[in-house]
Chains A and B, each alone.
Chain A
Amino acid sequence: MSLRLRGMLKPDLEPITSRPPVVIAFLVVLALLGLFCVGRLVHHFQQEEKALARQLYWRSLREQVAGKKDLAIQHFRAALGYDHDNFEYQLALARALVDSGRTQEAESYLIGLWERFPQNGEVNLALGRLAAEEKSLDRAMQYYHNAIYGLWVSNAEQNRVQAWFELIRVLIGLDARRQAEAEVVSLSANLPPNPGMELLTANLFAELEDYEHALTEYRRVLGSDPTNPAALAGAGEAAYKLSRYRTAAGYLEAATKARPQDAQLTQLLQTSQLILENDPFNRRISRLERDRRLRMIFQDAGQRLDACIQAGEPQPSSSQSSTDPISPLKVRWTTMKSKLGQLGTGRESEVPDEIMDLVLQIEQQTAACGMTVKDQALLLLAENRAGVEQ
C-alpha cells in the first residue's frame, strides 16, 4: 500500500487541521473573507481619497482665480495623487500649467489624457492650442479637427463651432490662408442658423479677401436681421471690394445711418457714390452725358497732375522707374487734350479707353502726392471700367 494511501486511510493519526483538503478549504474560506474585507477597506479608503482630492481641486480652482498659479498647480497635483485617473483634475492641471507657461509639462499631461480619451474634444482642443503655440501647423490642424469632430460633454455644437473658429484664427495667424479659407468654407456650410456666428464667418471670409463668400454670408445675416449694422457695413465693404459700387452704396448708406461716426464707412460710401456719378461707361446714360463725364474725368486728372508737379516731389510708385514719370504723362495729357475734340464726332471709338488709360496712369503715378476720395474714385473707375456694376 502506498504511503500516500496509508496516510489518508489513517486520518486519526494526523491532526485534522493538517489534512490537505481541510487546509485548502480553510484557505479558500480565509481568502474569500480576506478579499471581501480588503475590498471593503480599499473601497472606503478610495472614497475618502476621492473626497480629499475633490477638496484639493476646489481649493486649487480658488487659488487659480486668485492668481496663485504655483500653489494651484501644487494642489492640483496633490488632488491627482489621490485620484490618479480623474479626467477633470488632469485637464485642470494641464490648463493651469499652460497658464503658467509650463507648456512642456502640460503637453505631457495632455498626451496622457489623449491616449486614454483620443476622441475627447477638450483634450484635443488643448493640445491643438499647444501645437499652435509651437507653430506646428499639421499637429495643430490634426488636434483641432479632432476637437471639431470629437466628443464634448456639454454644449457640443457650440464648442465645436468655437473650436472651428479658433482653428481658422490659428491658421490665419500661421499664414496658412489657403487652409484657413477651406476651413471657413466648410464651417459656413455646417453652421447652424445663428446670426452671430454667420457674421463671424462673413468677417473671416472678408479677412481672407474672399469677398464673394463674405457678401453671401453678410446677406445671410441680413436675411434674419436686416438692420444689423455690422452686417450692413461688412456687406457694403465686400460689395465695394467686388467693384459692385451700386450694391455697396446701398449697404453703406444704410450702415452709415446706423454708424454715422464711422469715417471709413463714410469714405467708402462717398467713393462708391462718386464712382456711380462719374462712370462714363454706364449703359443707362446718353452719349452726350458719357462725353461730358469723360471730359470731366480728364480735366480732374490733369489738375491732379499739375497739383502734383507743383508740389515738387512726386514719388514714382514704381521703384523700377529711375527717371521722372510725371513729365511724359503731362506731355501725353496735352496730346490727349487735342483728341478730346473727337468726342461726339462719331470717330472717337478708341478715345474713351485712351483717356481712361491715361487717367489710370496719372492716378497711379501720383498716388504718392496723397489721394482724395475723388482720386480714389477715378482710380477705381479707370481700373474697373468694364466691371463697374451696371
Chain B
Amino acid sequence: VRDSLTARQEPSVPSNSAAAEAAPNVRTHPWLFLTANLTEERFFLILSVFIGIFAGLAVICLRLAIDWTSISLLGPAPSPHTLGVLLVPAVVGLVIAVLVIHVFPQVRGSGVNQTKAAFYIFNGRIPFRTAVGKFITAALAIGSGQSLGPEDPSLQIGASLAWVIGRRMKFSREKLRLLAPVGAAAGLAAAFNAPISAVLFVIEEVIGRWSAAILGSVVLSAISSVVVVRSFLGAQPLFRIPPLATVHPTELLAYAVLGIVGGLAAVVFAKAIGYFRPLLIALPKATRYFQPALAGLMIGFIGYLGAPQVMGAGYESIDQAMHDHFTWTVLAGLAGLKILATTLSLVTGTPGGMFAPTMFIGAMLGGAVGGVERHFYPHLTGTTGTYALVGMGVLFAGFMRVPMTSVFMVLEVSGDYSIIVPVILANAIAYVISRSLQETPIFDLLTRQDGLNLPSLEEQREEGILRVEDAMKLPVAAVLDSRLAVGEASQQVQGTSSEVFLVRLFPSGWGSVNRDVIERLVNEGKSGMTLASLLPAQPLPYLHPDHPLEMALRYVEQTPLVPVVSRADLRKLEGIITGEDVFARYRVAAGESP
C-alpha cells in the first residue's frame, strides 16, 4: 500500500508490459479507479479529517465524563463548608495515584510534552492504552476538583487516536510522526472550541517549527473536530463573552500594567512548578501514592474555606469574572489561590492540563487590574470583561510562552478584533518579562525534568542564522568575460596572484577557469580560442548573499570557488565564497579561532 501511496513521489517511474496489461483494470474496477490518484499525501489529508472526527467525539465524551464525575462526586452545586468539597479531591486522588502507578503509567502530567516526545522520538506513537488512561484519570481528577483543565489531556487523547487510526497505513516515517501533531491539534481544537488557536499552539509548542507540509493536515483535523463538537454541544465558547470596550487611548497604560502583573504572575507560577516538581519526583516512590491525594486535600481545604471556584477547570468562574460578579480583591485572591492549587495538582503528577487554570488565573488577574483602575479612574475604564479576556492572553503569553497562540486565542474566543491593540501590547510585555526572568519555557522545563531534550520554537528563534554574506569575501581576482580570447585572458590574469578566476558567461551564468589551463593553452598556441569554448557546458552554481550558510556547503564541495551574485542582477558579482570561508565562519560562531 505504501508503494501505491508513494509512487508519485518516486523520481523515476519504471514501466513494463504488466502495467500496460493492467491499465484497463484501473478503469473498470471501481475501487482501483477511486484510488488511482490517491497519493500518500492525499490519503493522509483524508485521514486527517477522520482523525478530527474521532478526536472530536472523544473530547465530547471527556467533557461529559468530567461533568458527570463532578455532579456525582461534588453535587450539582458545590458549596463551601461541606465535607464533600473537603474530602472528595483527596479520596479520588488516592484512586488516581493507584491507576497511574499500576495501570496507566504514561498518563502523568499534562500530555503536551508526551505528545511532543511522540513526535520527535517515538515516530508519532502514543498507545491507545494511554488515551484510555488519560481519559479516565483526567475525568476523575478534574471532576473531583483538582485544579486542572481538560485541554491538554484532549490534545494527548487526540494524538493517541491519530496513532491508532494511522499506524496500520504503512505511512512513511515522516507521515507517521505527523500523526501526533495532527491528532493533537484536533483534540485541542475540540476542547478549546477554537481551531486557529489550536493549530497555532501545535505549531508553536508541539512541532516547534513552521512547515507548509504539516499545516494542511493539522488545519483539516482541527476544523473537522471543531465541527463535530459544535454540532453536538453548540458553537458558544466555554464562557460567555460580554460586550468588549476600550474607552480611551490612555487606557493602554492600564493594559501595560496588566502585562507587567501578568508577566510576573506567570513567572511565579512557572518557577513554583519548576522548583517543586523535581523535589516531589525525588521523593521515595511510595510517596507517589499519596501525592495527588495530598494535593487534593489542600485544594479541597481551599474550597472548604470559601473558594470552591478554584476547584476543577473553573470555566463558570471565568464567566462570572467576565461579567463583574466579583470585586477586584476577590479576583486577585482567586488568582493567587488558583496558582497555588494548580501548582499542587501539577507538581504531584495528577493527570490534567494547564490551559484552563492559565486562563482562569489570567482572567482573574485581568479583572482585578481592571477593577483597581476603575476604582481610581472610573471614567477611563472599559468593561471588566475586556480586562479579563486580555488577562487570559497575557498569562498564555507569559506562562506558556506561545505569543502567537495567546493573541489569536483572545481574538478567536471573543470574535472581536477591536481589542487587538491592548491584547498585543499586554501580551508582548508579559512575554518579554517572562523571558527575562524565566530562562526556560515551562514545557521545555518539564521535558528536561523528565530527562528529555526536545527542540522548541523559542530556542530556534534565538539561534542566529548564519548567512552567505557572513562568510563571503569581496572578489579580488579579475573576473573574465567568456567572450575573451585565451590570449587576452592570459594578459588580464598576469600580475595577479589568484589561481582560479571566475568567468562571466554570456548572456548569463558563471564559470571558472584555472591559471594553469590558460597558460597551457597559450603554450599550445590556442590563444585565439574563446574562454567560452573551453568551459564545461554546466555552469557554476551561484549563491545570493542572503542564502543560509548551510546552502553554501552543498556547493563548495563541487567547486573551489562559488560566486555570490546580486538578486537584482545575476551578472553582478557581490563576493566569492570557498569551503575554507564557510568552515572558518562556523568556527567563529562556535567560539573558536578561525
Question: Once the chains bind, are B77 and A74 in contact (CB under 8 Å)?
Answer: yes
Query: CB within 8 A of B50: which of A6, A19, A27?
Result: A27
- Answer whether residue A322 sits at the interface, using C-beta atoms and an 8 A cutoff: no
Q: Which 3 pairs from chain A and chain B are nearest by CB?
A: A1-B19, A7-B4, A4-B7
Number of interface residues of B (CB under 8 A): 61
Query: CB within 8 A of A45: which of B7, B68, B385?
Result: B68
Question: Once the chains bind, are B7 and A111 in contact (CB under 8 Å)?
Answer: no
Q: How far is the CB of B555 from chain A (nearest CB, A)?
A: 32
Number of interface residues of A (CB under 8 A): 46
Q: How far is the CB of B521 from chain A (nearest CB, A)?
A: 49
Q: A4-B7, A20-B4 are in contact. List 5 more A-B contacts (CB 8 A).
A: A1-B22, A3-B14, A102-B325, A108-B385, A111-B242
- Answer whether residue B91 sits at the interface, using C-beta atoms and an 8 A cutoff: no
Query: CB within 8 A of B169: which of A23, A85, A102?
Result: A23
Query: CB within 8 A of B26: which of A5, A17, A24, A56?
Result: A5
Binds A, one of B29-37, B129-137, B291-299: B29-37
Task: Point out the residues of chain A lying under 8 angstroms from B165, CB to CB.
Answer: 27
- Answer whether residue B593 sits at the interface, using C-beta atoms and an 8 A cutoff: no
- B30: nearest residue on chain A (CB-CB)? A21
- Answer whether residue B323 sits at the interface, using C-beta atoms and an 8 A cutoff: yes
Question: Once the chains bind, are A14 and B1 in contact (CB under 8 Å)?
Answer: yes
Task: Point out the residues of chain B lying under 8 angstroms from A24, CB to CB.
Answer: 46
Question: Once the chains bind, are A74 and B79 in contact (CB under 8 Å)?
Answer: yes
Central interface residue in A3, A38, A52, by most chain B CB within 10 Å = A3
Task: Point out the residues of chain A lying under 8 angstroms from B13, CB to CB.
Answer: 2-3
Central interface residue in B14, B77, B232, B316, by most chain A CB within 10 Å = B77
- Answer whether residue A65 sits at the interface, using C-beta atoms and an 8 A cutoff: no
Task: Point out the residues of chain A lying under 8 angstroms from B32, CB to CB.
Answer: 8-9
B residues with a Cβ closer than 8 A to A are 1-8, 10, 13-16, 18-20, 22-23, 25-26, 31-32, 34-36, 38-39, 43, 46-47, 50, 53-54, 57, 60-61, 64, 67-68, 71, 76-77, 79, 165, 168-170, 228, 232-234, 236, 240, 242-243, 316, 320, 323-325, 385
- Answer whether residue A39 sits at the interface, using C-beta atoms and an 8 A cutoff: yes
Question: Once the chains bind, are B232 and A39 in contact (CB under 8 Å)?
Answer: yes
- B77: nearest residue on chain A (CB-CB)? A78
Task: Point out the residues of chain B lying under 8 angstroms from A2, CB to CB.
Answer: 7-8, 10, 13-15, 19
Q: How far is the CA of A81 from the CA of B319 in the complex (A)?
A: 10
Question: Once the chains bind, are B79 and A45 in contact (CB under 8 Å)?
Answer: no
Question: Once the chains bind, are B7 and A5 in contact (CB under 8 Å)?
Answer: yes
Question: Once the chains bind, are A109 and B323 in contact (CB under 8 Å)?
Answer: yes
Question: Once the chains bind, are A35 and B14 in contact (CB under 8 Å)?
Answer: no
Query: CB within 8 A of B8: which of A4, A9, A49, A108?
Result: A4
Q: How far is the CB of A6 from chain B (nearest CB, A)?
A: 6
- B385: nearest residue on chain A (CB-CB)? A108
- Answer whether residue A82 sits at the interface, using C-beta atoms and an 8 A cutoff: yes
- B64: nearest residue on chain A (CB-CB)? A45
- B75: nearest residue on chain A (CB-CB)? A78
Instruction: Given A1-B22, A21-B35, A108-B323, check contact A35 B7 (CB 8 Å).
Output: no
Task: Point out the residues of chain A lying under 8 angstroms from B36, CB to CB.
Answer: 4-5, 8
Q: How far is the CA of A315 from the CA of B565 in the complex (A)?
A: 108
Q: How far is the CA of A160 from the CA of B164 in the complex (A)?
A: 61
Question: Once the chains bind, are A31 and B53 in contact (CB under 8 Å)?
Answer: yes
A-B contact pairs, 23 of them (CB 8 A): A1-B18, A1-B19, A2-B7, A3-B3, A3-B6, A3-B7, A4-B4, A5-B7, A5-B36, A6-B4, A9-B32, A19-B31, A27-B50, A35-B57, A38-B57, A42-B233, A45-B67, A74-B77, A78-B76, A102-B325, A104-B324, A105-B325, A112-B242
Q: How far is the CB of A56 from chain B (nearest CB, A)?
A: 6
Query: CB within 8 A of A7: which of B3, B25, B46?
Result: B3
Q: How far is the CA of A33 from the CA of B14 in the complex (A)?
A: 42
Question: Once the chains bind, are A52 and B71 in contact (CB under 8 Å)?
Answer: yes
Question: Once the chains bind, are A20 and B35 in contact (CB under 8 Å)?
Answer: yes
Q: How far is the CA of A55 from the CA of B77 in the complex (A)?
A: 11
Query: CB within 8 A of A6: which of B5, B19, B43, B385?
Result: B19
Task: Point out the residues of chain A lying under 8 angstroms from B168, CB to CB.
Answer: 17-18, 23
- Answer whether residue A371 sits at the interface, using C-beta atoms and an 8 A cutoff: no
Q: How far is the CA of A35 from the CA of B77 in the complex (A)?
A: 30
Q: How far is the CB of B31 from chain A (nearest CB, A)?
A: 4
Question: Once the chains bind, are B34 and A21 in contact (CB under 8 Å)?
Answer: yes
Q: How far is the CA of A364 from the CA of B273 in the complex (A)?
A: 87
Question: Once the chains bind, are B77 and A75 in contact (CB under 8 Å)?
Answer: yes
Q: How far is the CB of B261 from chain A (nearest CB, A)?
A: 23
Q: How far is the CB of A382 from chain B (nearest CB, A)?
A: 55
Q: How far is the CA of A18 from the CA of B35 in the complex (A)?
A: 13
Instruction: Given A27-B50, A41-B61, check contact A4 B3 (CB 8 Å).
Output: yes
Question: Once the chains bind, are A8 and B54 in contact (CB under 8 Å)?
Answer: no
Q: How far is the CA of A3 from the CA of B64 in the complex (A)?
A: 47
Question: Once the chains bind, are B1 and A42 in contact (CB under 8 Å)?
Answer: no
Q: How far is the CB of A259 from chain B (nearest CB, A)?
A: 51
Question: Once the chains bind, are B325 and A18 in contact (CB under 8 Å)?
Answer: no
Q: How far is the CA of A102 from the CA of B325 in the complex (A)?
A: 9
Q: How far is the CB of B55 from chain A (nearest CB, A)?
A: 11
Task: Point out the residues of chain B lying under 8 angstroms from A4, CB to CB.
Answer: 3-8, 36, 39
Task: Point out the residues of chain B lying under 8 angstroms from A84, CB to CB.
Answer: 236
Question: Once the chains bind, are B61 and A38 in contact (CB under 8 Å)?
Answer: yes
Q: How far is the CA of A146 from the CA of B226 in the complex (A)?
A: 37
Query: CB within 8 A of A20: which of B38, B68, B71, B324?
Result: B38
Q: How far is the CA of A55 from the CA of B71 in the complex (A)?
A: 14
Instruction: Given A1-B22, A3-B7, A8-B32, check contact A56 B1 (CB 8 Å).
Output: no
- A37: nearest residue on chain B (CB-CB)? B57
Task: Point out the residues of chain B lying under 8 angstroms from A341, CB to CB.
Answer: none
Instruction: Given A3-B4, A20-B5, A74-B79, check contact A108 B67 (CB 8 Å).
Output: no
Q: How far is the CB of B304 from chain A (nearest CB, A)?
A: 16
- Answer whether residue A77 sits at the interface, using C-beta atoms and an 8 A cutoff: yes
- Answer whether residue A34 sits at the interface, using C-beta atoms and an 8 A cutoff: yes
Task: Point out the residues of chain A lying under 8 angstroms from B385, CB to CB.
Answer: 108
Instruction: Given A2-B19, A9-B25, A56-B77, check contact A18 B1 (CB 8 Å).
Output: yes
Task: Point out the residues of chain B lying under 8 angstroms from A41, CB to CB.
Answer: 61, 64
A window 11-51: CB within 8 A of B: 14, 17-21, 23-24, 27, 30-31, 34-35, 38-39, 41-42, 45, 49
Provide the A51-86 mask, 1 if CB < 8 A to any CB of B, else 0: 010011000000000000000001101100110110
Q: How far is the CB of B165 from chain A (nearest CB, A)?
A: 7
Provide the A75-105 mask, 1 if CB < 8 A to any CB of B, else 0: 1011001101100000000000000001011
Central interface residue in A9, A17, A52, by most chain B CB within 10 Å = A9
Task: Point out the residues of chain A lying under 8 angstroms from B38, CB to CB.
Answer: 20
Q: How far is the CA of A6 from the CA of B2 in the complex (A)?
A: 11
A window 109-158: CB within 8 A of B: 109, 111-112
Task: Point out the residues of chain B lying under 8 angstroms from A3, CB to CB.
Answer: 3-4, 6-7, 10, 13-14
Q: How far is the CA of A21 from the CA of B4 in the complex (A)?
A: 12
Q: How far is the CA of A45 from the CA of B26 in the complex (A)?
A: 48
Q: How far is the CA of A85 from the CA of B8 in the complex (A)?
A: 52
Task: Point out the residues of chain A lying under 8 angstroms from B324, CB to CB.
Answer: 104-105, 108
Task: Point out the residues of chain A lying under 8 angstroms from B23, CB to CB.
Answer: 5
Q: How far is the CA of A75 from the CA of B46 in the complex (A)?
A: 46
Q: How far is the CA of A17 from the CA of B168 in the complex (A)?
A: 8
